[in-house]
Amino acid sequence: MPPPPKAVWRDRILTARRELSAARRRIEDTALATVASTLAPAGSVVCAYVPVGSEPGSIALLDALTEAGTTVLVPVTRTGEPLSWARYMGEKTLMAADFGLREPGGEIFPPEAVAKAHTVLVPALAVDARGVRLGRGAGFYDRTLHLASPEAVIIAVVRDEELVDELPEDPHDIRMGWALTPGKGLVRLGSGDRAEQHTP
């Protein structure tokens, strides 16, 4: 029996996230930040994201990556285009942007900057055991991740309950090699391509 449509998954997951208590969220965000600090070697580049709304993670995750000695790039969004990037220099440098996001001021790097990343942390509503990611449907990461290095560690960041057996998949979807969850830590996904190429 095929999995439910993406719209059903999105509604189900967003409802569960809205019902999450503030205390549980703080515990999960702390756990994610602790693991994130170990994901990439000092001196490397990590492409991450600025969590907003009910997305897993917090500014503490970005700060942990910075304190571990990595250069952290976060997305700059333009409708219909691949993600551009800007360097994360602390929460005080973030400004309100389109789509309810927050983005750094300062120099903007082209989409191809993701090719320099050792690790790419990707926000997701869910990811399955094969590496199929469910996003919000805007397609930003589908237009961007093909620019990443073949050896980059591509990680979907989700809550424990959002790592599932099977999600619906479209031909343009780019699979993740790993999942990062608060309780399970870093979990390898799939059996081919990126999942087999690199172990953090």
- pLDDT tens string 147-189: 999 999 999 999 999 999 999 988 888 999 999 999 999 999 9
Domain extents for the chain?
6-185
pLDDT band of 191, cuts 50, 70, 90 = low
For residues 133 and 172, give the distance between their C-alpha atoms in angstroms, rounded to a whole number. 11
99 labelled binding-site residue: no
Average pLDDT of span 94-117: 89
Q: How would you classify the pairing of strands 94-96 and 102-104?
A: antiparallel
| Structure tokens given for 56 | 């897993």
The better pLDDT of the pair 24, 97 is held by: 24
Which residues are paired to 164 by β-bridges? 128
Question: Is 55 annotated as belonging to a binding site?
Answer: yes
> Distance between CA atoms of 126 and 19, rounded to whole angstroms?
16
For strand 117-123 and strand 45-47, is the pairing parallel, antiparallel, or unpaired? parallel
Its pTM surpasses 0.75: yes
10 in a known ligand binding site: yes
What percentage of the chain reaches a pLDDT higher than 70? 93
pLDDT of residue 116: 97
Share of residues in the chain with pLDDT > 90 (%): 72
User: What is the average per-residue pLDDT within 40-67?
Assistant: 95
Answer whether residue 2 shows pLDDT above 50.
yes
pLDDT at 93 (0 to 100): 86
43 burial via Cβ count (<10 Å: 0-12, 13-18, 19+):
exposed
Q: What is residue 199's predicted lDDT score, i.e. its pLDDT? A: 43
69 torsion bin: left (phi>0), alpha (psi -120 to 50), beta (else): left
The verdict on whether residue 60 carries a ligand-binding annotation is no
Does the domain spanning 6-185 belong to CATH 3.30.565.10?
no
143 annotated binding-site participant: no
The more confident residue out of 131 and 98 is: 131
**Cα 194 vs. chain centroid, distance in angstroms?**
15
- The whole-number pLDDT of residue 44 equals 97
Mean pLDDT of the chain: 90
Is 109 marked as a binding-site residue? no
